[in-house]
Amino acid sequence: MNLAHYKPCVCNLCGTGCGQFLNTDGQRVYGVAPLITHPVSKGKLCIRGWHANELLNTHERITTPLIREHGELRPASYDEAIAKVMSTLQTFKGEAGEIGVLASARSSNEDGYTLARLSREVLKTQLRGIGAEAGHRKSMDSLRHAFGYPGAHGSLTAIDHADYILVVGTDITRQNPIIGGNIHAAQRRGARVVTLSSSRTQIAKLSTKHFQEKPGTLGLLVNALGKSLMAIRTVNHDRRANIDKLPGYSEYAASLRSISSVALERASGIRYEEIEEEAKYLEHAKSVVILFSSGISGLDRPTIDAITNLALLTDRMDHPHSAVIPVAGISNLQGSFDMGMSGELGNSVFKALATPDSAIKALLVIDHDDGIIRDKARIAALDFVVYACAYKNAFMELADVVFPLPAYNETDGTYTAADKRVQITRQNVDNKRGILPGWNLWQRLAAAVGHHWGYQDAAHVFKDVAKHTPGYADLSHELLGKGFGQHWNPKGFASSRQRQFNAINIEYWEAPTSPQFPFALMIGKAQHYWHQNNLMRKTIVPRREYDQTLWLYPQGYIEISPDDATRLKVKDKWLVNVRSSIGTSMKIAVKISPDVQNGTAYIPYFIKNMISDFLLPYENAYAAGEESVIPIQIQE
Amino acid sequence: MANCHGNHEHGNCKTTGLCPIVTFPEVVNIDEIRDEIPEVKTFYLSFPNKDVEREFRIKSGQFIMCTVFGAGEFAVSLPPSPENDRFHISVRAVGKVTNALHALKPGDKLGVRGPFGNGFPFEDIKGKNIIYVAGGIGLIPLRSSIVHALQHREDFGRIILLYGARSSQDLMYQPDIKEWQQNAGFETFITIDKPEAGWNGEVGYVNQLIEKAKVPVDNSVAFVCGPPVMFNSVIGEFLKRGMSEDAIISTLERQMKCGIGKCQHCAVGRTLVCTDGPVYTYRQIKTLGEQI
Amino acid sequence: MSMYLLSAHDISALVTELQASYDVYGPQVEPQTKQVFFDQLASAEALDLAAPIPSMPVKEILFPQMERILKYKYDAQSQSVELSKQYFERPKVLFGLRPCDLSGILVLDRFFLGQEFVDDVYLTHRRQCLLISNTCLHPFPQCFCVCTHSGPDADEGFDLDLTQLKDGILVRVGSEKGQALADAHQWSVASAAHAAEFKAVVERSIDLFPELATDNKAWVAKVMNRITTGFVKPETWEYIGDQCFECGACSFVCPTCSCFNIEDSATACGECERLRMRDSCSFEGYARMAGDHNPRQPVEDRRNKRFFCKLSYPQSKKYLRPGCVGCGRCQWVCPGDIGLPNVVQYIRREITGGQN
């Protein structure tokens, strides 16, 4: 017998995919509870998950279709809004690059799949993209080359058994806290946990070993680890692996051999002997898990290639407790990618928007994070913008037509977590206002111009997903409803057994700092580094926590080391002038932190005016993601 | 009072006979709004429900929880005297709720719960000299006690006010101050941080006034309210002169949500500011183990 | 104390009978996940008195995670306001409370009702509650109620108390309300042998506790002493603080944590509801003041605030027992490793200088 109030579901607030119960009477959501038997979260939730009830109760919802008239959005019927959207879109040529579709990494697979169909079959556009996908595409390309399929290798549950866990870059305790908790648990049971991170993050503090490298040298460090591992292999004939038969090995080996320990130490600040020591542990580990952050702030391609290569080099990737996981900050980033909503490289909606003379005239956008709207002026200047989202946000101002969407738990949907685990969340709360789920909205848009898909419900859509999506063939709503989801099957890709090394270049990255701009500024590693700001702004307690830092530092803050603060003669909370080498500047408070190295500085990712005014002109900051470094000067 | 959910057996209701408004805000009308200093306004209030008004009795040093409809609730100290004074609050716009309050106009309604808190120990200090020391808006929580003490002038020895602000623009309750300066039984010393054209009063920090006023230490009690820097320097000055830590009294401000000792937001060390405070002696404050 | 012996059928009949005039809550197993919740019973069959300790504390019912307490409509034009109360009294039976959860309710009673002010919202949920407790025949993983005087059997606060014996279910009466319920039925009176069996059952349950739990019994008192006197080393708090993920879970699953937050949330133009939601002192923004500084800063300070609340003499005086009831849920839900039993361990290690 089902319980009166507790309904199982999957948390939708990051890419971990934790099990969760909602305490609901079907009308309102009163609370949440953790799901103890869930294989990944095991009865734990982070602050976001524990407050999902606040998000699901927010009144900042879009409740009806809206059409812009005389500059104002006014309520409209579905019939009117759908007719308006399709009649307008028909005046543009998708094939000629006039229509763009910007999908959400939070949409369910059903919504993503139908949106992809709408783009291809009805709008006939190639200009697609997923908000926050930038870094994930690089992860997927690297993994596809290395393992033969675009997705994580292995499962997040491997953390619970692996001998050796390597965390590259990310402060996973903030970004995906439950994964961080599992790593901490692994460390306590005796696994060797190693973190490579330029600042002393919480996961660094909880690790067995922390390599605090200079900014920009993560990939070099990973490659150096590869070099020492290879050196051990060469002398240890008992452990001769067949990895040298894999394509790309000799080039990779040659590159590794070329690493100079002197240059390594100068660039990264880490001694090669330390890395040689570390490689011994790695050599002895029977199972190895490597985690890195993937998404808008993810790593650059050379670093990811270094990671996938090192994974192959360990020769432990066939062990059931080994894994290489691009950790996604957003719930269905992997799924949206699987559903085909990612744009083609060089022909994506992002590229079209960023290219001044591109043909794009109309844009369909789903659930966009209003804190990071890129190319806003271009979007505002488009002829026609359609926006669909469950929650009100600033992106509505750019739209000509707005559609509401149900929140998760108000409709059936499947979500694919960072490790390819596909899980289902059923409708547990009434969809009181009769809001069309995304798949049905896209179906109605298609039908308005004569494309009839005939989907009855989300399960029906998923049958098509299974039929047409590599790896999803064995899955169905019925099956997913029975347990805690299932990983999609890499064997769905013909190349899934073909492993090969990525080509790498050894570069001793020189910090772009100079006597004039002596600080290496990095973004995104501040304490409140939450990928879900868009949603967390709609809650109460997490929003307060998120704002907490701003109460103390109303202008935002820049983290520097105590030594540097002394040298600059500044104190905590003092305002300083920060000027970048390309001339942008801002006034911001100093936050003195012992976790930061001398010569480096960090600003939190979430402070709006910093993202737009200070960072957006800095194109490279986005391209390089987590490893981006901006030379700055700091003046009192 | 119908609205009272005080525990009559244990609480304030029994000891004082005053039943506060505990759970549901009572509606009050904003009769008048006065600009005090930049960012600070005084709101004169009255209860439309006269039964409630009759039973709404306060003690100096207490506070109320004030609802700005549509924005939220905040704790605010009570500046009026318990006797023969207009019901009002003085509020600085610092956050979402207080900014919403500042946008209101006369005739608008507010919600009020309370009064809460222990209040100043008025009975215990009879016969003593009272020294009020305030910095900036620190005068707000002291006003009630000042007016009340002046209403019972014969009960006390010397009554002295040492008040400092950044500039003459930042002096609270200027009509009151003018009146107080005329009062022969009340020694007032007002200072501003930097010299100003047209200012004939003292210049400098409040702690320097202690010397000037020849403040008596024996048989005296000091009420000190102001920003932490001022607070610490004034306390230091008093202690140097041999004043007892029990004779220095202040009020603490903390974030409050319930006002009745339940939500625990205002927990400081082992006490709750809403029910054990907000009035503490310096000896108590010292042992709380947290920042002021 | 009167004692009766009931059959499983009698219990079932009692549940059904009570359902006519009460909302009856009890332990049940969620079918898909096998997780136990103390939730409203659709029928007597759903009640599972043998189910392990519910995953969420019973305070869920008396002090929900989030509730509406007030609604108001404000018309700026006419400058008028209408207020209405949003919480309502419903007679409830909490059927089959584990003794730790019963102790939790007693602590919340003393806190919300017994201090200077009565919390009207809690009182309204609590007023017409019948409490029926259920002896734990054996401990569940992570249980340590033997250390905190809150199990495996209940000794106060219940209206009726149930214990599964060989021949049936022993019912002990703990209040007039409970006696009235017994008097209204033709329950057979328990014998002295049943009373003796009850004692034996409790003894056996205590014996079944893991060594660590029983061993910790004296240590809990020692640790309370340390925490009260403030002699726990900063390094120990820092070690604990480093493992805090600031999720708030420990507070949300603790049967005695009572901190809450209040927020007015606009529903529509001029309409607003006042929400009251659980809060946790481990959150950074918990104590911050508008436009000003935060009096509590590093995470370890916030952590030890909570442990002070659970394990210190002044706090025990307020609750008339330790603030911790030994349910072990905080250990389940903590993504770090700082559930309360572990904190006792860490402080114990500090006292013994590393020897356990």
pLDDT for residue C192: 95
Contact criterion met (CB below 8 Å) for C130 and C97: no
pLDDT for residue C89: 94
pLDDT for residue A527: 47
pLDDT for residue B228: 84
Counts of helices then strands in chain B (DSSP H, E): 8, 15
Contact call for C248 and A47, based on CB within 8 A = yes
Is residue A622 domain-shared with residue A578, that is, in the same domain?
Answer: yes
Nearest to B150 by CA among B185, B190, B175, B181: B185
- Is A289 within a domain? yes
pLDDT for residue C292: 45
Contact call for A8 and C279, based on CB within 8 A = no
pLDDT, tens only, B220-241: 999 999 988 898 899 999 999 9
Is residue A190 domain-shared with residue A278, that is, in the same domain?
Answer: yes
Letter string b/e over residues A318-342, b meaning 16 or more CB atoms within 10 A of that residue's CB: ebebbbbbbbbbbbbbbbbbbbbbb
pLDDT for residue A579: 86
Q: Residue type for A611, please?
A: I
Contact call for C295 and B95, based on CB within 8 A = no
Is residue A573 domain-shared with residue A549, that is, in the same domain?
Answer: yes
pLDDT for residue A609: 54
Average pLDDT over residues C154-176: 96
Tell me A343's DSSP state: P
Structure tokens given for C35 = 């997780």
Contact call for B267 and C305, based on CB within 8 A = yes
Tell me the domain boundaries of chain B.
Answer: 12-116, 123-251
- Is A491 within a domain? no
- Size of chain C, expressed as the number of residues it contains: 356
Across the interface, of A45, A188, A545, the residue whose CB is closest to C249 is A45
For the beta carbon of residue C342, count every other beta carbon within 10 angstroms.
16
Is residue A24 domain-shared with residue A93, that is, in the same domain?
Answer: no
pLDDT, tens only, C83-140: 999 999 999 999 999 999 999 999 999 999 987 889 999 999 999 999 999 999 999 9
Q: How many domains does chain A have?
A: 4
pLDDT for residue B1: 41
Contact call for C290 and B290, based on CB within 8 A = no
Average pLDDT over residues B185-211: 92
Nearest to A129 by CA among A393, A347, A433, A424: A347
Average pLDDT over residues B3-13: 54
Average pLDDT over residues A100-118: 96
Q: Is the pLDDT of residue A440 over 60?
A: yes
pLDDT for residue C295: 47
Mean pLDDT of chain C: 89
Contact criterion met (CB below 8 Å) for C256 and C323: yes
Q: Is the pLDDT of residue A367 over 80?
A: yes
**The CATH number of the domain where A403 resides is what?**
3.40.50.740
Is residue A441 domain-shared with residue A564, that is, in the same domain?
Answer: no
* Percent of all residues in chain B with a pLDDT value above 70, rounded to a whole number: 92
pLDDT, tens only, A128-145: 999 877 788 899 999 999
- Is A474 within a domain? no
Q: Which residue has the higher pLDDT, A179 or A1?
A: A179
**What's the per-residue H, E or C state across chain C?**
CCEEEECHHHHHHHHHHHHCCCEEEEEEECCCCCCEEEEECCCHHHCCCCCCCCCCCCHHHHCCCEEEEEEEEEECCCCEEEEEECCCCCCEEEEEECHHHHHHHHHHHHHHHCCCECCHHHHHHHCCEEEEEECCCCCCCCCCHHHCCCCCCCCCCCCEEEEECCCCEEEEECCHHHHHHHHCCCCEECCHHHHHHHHHHHHHHHHCCCHHHHHHHHHHHHHHHHHHHCCCCHHHHHHHHHCCCCCCHHHHHCCCCCCEEEEEEEEECCEEEEEEEECCCCCHHHHCCCCCCCCCCCHHHHHHHHHHHHCCHHHHHHHCCCCCCCCCHHHHHCCCCCCHHHHHHHHHHHHHCCCC
Nearest to A156 by CA among A473, A487, A483, A474: A487
Contact criterion met (CB below 8 Å) for A564 and A616: no
Phi/psi for C240 (5° steps) reads: -70, -45
pTM: 0.92
Q: Which of residues 118-147 of B touch C (CB under 8 A)?
A: none
Is residue A173 domain-shared with residue A301, that is, in the same domain?
Answer: yes
Contact call for A59 and C265, based on CB within 8 A = yes
Distance from CA of C241 to the nearest CA of B (A): 18
Phi/psi for C116 (5° steps) reads: -55, -45
pLDDT for residue A575: 86
Contact call for C277 and A205, based on CB within 8 A = no
Chain C residues with CB under 8 Å of B67 CB are 264
For residue A34, the chain C residue with the least C-alpha distance is C333
- Is A508 within a domain? no
Average pLDDT over residues C290-314: 63
Q: How distant, in Å, are the alpha carbons of A165, B264, B283 from that of B287?
A: 46, 19, 7
Mean pLDDT of chain A: 90
Q: How distant, in Å, are the alpha carbons of A158, A281, A331, A482, A531 from that of A325?
A: 10, 20, 14, 25, 18
Q: How distant, in Å, are the alpha carbons of A444, B11, B45, B83, B87 from that of B59?
A: 66, 15, 17, 9, 12
Contact call for C83 and B71, based on CB within 8 A = no
Contact call for C285 and A547, based on CB within 8 A = yes
For residue C60, the chain A residue with the least C-alpha distance is A31
Q: Is the pLDDT of residue C206 over 60?
A: yes
Contact call for C337 and A188, based on CB within 8 A = yes
- Is A478 within a domain? no
Distance CA B79, CA B60 (A): 8
Contact criterion met (CB below 8 Å) for C18 and C95: yes
pLDDT, tens only, C254-264: 999 999 999 99
Average pLDDT over residues A584-613: 77
Instruction: Write down the residue that tokens 């948390």 correspond to.
Output: A11
Distance from CA of C122 to the nearest CA of A (A): 16
Confidence of residue A461 (pLDDT cuts 50, 70, 90): very high
For residue B108, the chain C residue with the least C-alpha distance is C79
Q: Is the pLDDT of residue C294 over 70?
A: no
Q: Which of A182, A479, A551, A555 to mutate to test the interface with C (most CBs of C within 10 A)?
A: A551
Contact call for C260 and B263, based on CB within 8 A = yes
Average pLDDT over residues A147-163: 97
- Tell me whether C266 touches chain A (CB under 8 Å): yes
pLDDT for residue B13: 61
Chain B residues with CB under 8 Å of C314 CB are 270
Tell me A120's DSSP state: I
Q: What is the DSSP string of B174-190?
A: HHHHHHHHH-TT-EEEE
- Is A494 within a domain? no
pLDDT, tens only, C10-61: 999 999 999 999 999 999 999 999 999 999 999 999 999 999 999 999 999 9
What angle is formed at CA B187 by the lines to CA B183 and CA B189, rounded to 5 degrees? 120
Confidence of residue A237 (pLDDT cuts 50, 70, 90): low
Distance from CA of C233 to the nearest CA of B (A): 15
**Inter-chain Cβ pairs, chain B and chain C, closer than 8 A:** 125
Average pLDDT over residues B154-170: 94
pLDDT for residue A611: 57
C-alpha distance across the termini of chain C, in Å? 42
- Is A402 within a domain? yes
**Can you give the residue range of the structural domain that contains A524?**
519-635
Q: Which residue has the higher pLDDT, A124 or A294?
A: A124
Distance CA C145, CA C140 (A): 10
Confidence of residue C356 (pLDDT cuts 50, 70, 90): very low
Distance CA A245, CA A248 (A): 9
Distance from CA of C124 to the nearest CA of A (A): 18
- Tell me whether B109 touches chain C (CB under 8 Å): yes
- Tell me whether C335 touches chain A (CB under 8 Å): yes
Confidence of residue C81 (pLDDT cuts 50, 70, 90): very high
- Stated as kind and residue range, the H or E segment containing A137 is helix A134-147
Chain C residues with CB under 8 Å of A23 CB are 60, 64-65
Q: Which burial class, exposed, middle or buried, applies to A378 when counting CB atoms under 10 A from its CB (0-12, 13-18, 19+)? A: middle
Distance CA A456, CA A522 (A): 48
Listed in sequence order, the residues at least 6 apart from A533 whose beta carbon sits closer than 8 Å to its beta carbon are A369, A371, A546, A606
Q: Kindly report the CATH number that applies to the domain delimited by B12-116.
A: 2.40.30.10
- Tell me whether C279 touches chain A (CB under 8 Å): yes
Lowest mean pLDDT among A585-599, B135-149, C90-104: A585-599
Is residue A150 domain-shared with residue A295, that is, in the same domain?
Answer: yes
* Percent of all residues in chain C with a pLDDT value above 70, rounded to a whole number: 94
Q: Is the pLDDT of residue A15 over 70?
A: yes
Q: How distant, in Å, are the alpha carbons of A250, B22, B29, B78 from that of B87?
A: 86, 18, 11, 8
**Inter-chain Cβ pairs, chain A and chain C, closer than 8 A:** 147
Contact criterion met (CB below 8 Å) for A219 and A508: no
pLDDT for residue A625: 55
Most confident of A520-524, C203-207, C295-299: C203-207
Contact call for A46 and C284, based on CB within 8 A = no
Q: Residue type for A447, please?
A: A
Contact call for C35 and A30, based on CB within 8 A = no
Strands ordered across the beta sheet of B21-37: B72-77, B63-68, B109-116, B21-37, B40-46, B88-92
Average pLDDT over residues A466-470: 97
Across the interface, of C60, C275, C279, the residue whose CB is closest to A31 is C60
Chain B residues with CB under 8 Å of C296 CB are 290
Q: Kindly report the CATH number that applies to the domain delimited by B123-251.
A: 3.40.50.80
Distance CA A90, CA A119 (A): 13
Across the interface, of C80, C118, C279, the residue whose CB is closest to B109 is C80
